[in-house]
Amino acid sequence: MKVLVVEDSSAMRNVIASTAEEVQGVVAVQAPNGFEALKLLPSGDFALIITDINMPDLNGLELIRYIRQHPRYQTTPLFIVTTEGSDTDRQRGLALGVNEYLIKPFDPRALKTLINKYLVEEGANRGE
């Protein structure tokens, strides 16, 4: 299963990607910004997308809007991992259709648990 990790900080991107790859069968594909993510979406069949909000050019909320309009990814689980922790930011993300909203700094074990929940447990329930 491929997970797309979209984050402009290379250190944070690597932490998220390595955490995702701790889940059996997961391969993380990394994008340093929203534009690079858009280039990767047509070529990959991503089971989960994790994005930051604050990125240059195309931010995470704009990326999520595009993803949710794309037929291939309308039901793909989406996580936001961000420093934006206000209720307004969280509500905006949830209104766009994200499944989980994590605030940095986050506990990698919690992220791993959520990835496992959406990819392994719910995938089994869908017969994947």
Range of the domain at 84: 2-119
Provide the angle, in degrees to the nearest 10, between the axes of the packed helices 108-116 and 10-20: 50
Residue 125 lies in a domain: no
Residue 93 lies in a domain: yes
Q: Quick one: tokens of 72?
A: 């291939």
pTM: 0.92
DSSP string, 11-70: HHHHHHHHHHTTSTT-EEEEESSHHHHHHHGGG--EEEEEE-S--SSS-HHHHHHHHHHS
Residue 124 lies in a domain: no
Residue 96 lies in a domain: yes
Where residue 6 sits, what CATH number does that domain have?
3.40.50.2300
Q: Encode pLDDT of 93-118 as tens digits.
A: 889 999 999 999 999 999 999 999 99
Task: With cut-offs at 50, 70 and 90, classify the pLDDT of residue 123.
Answer: low
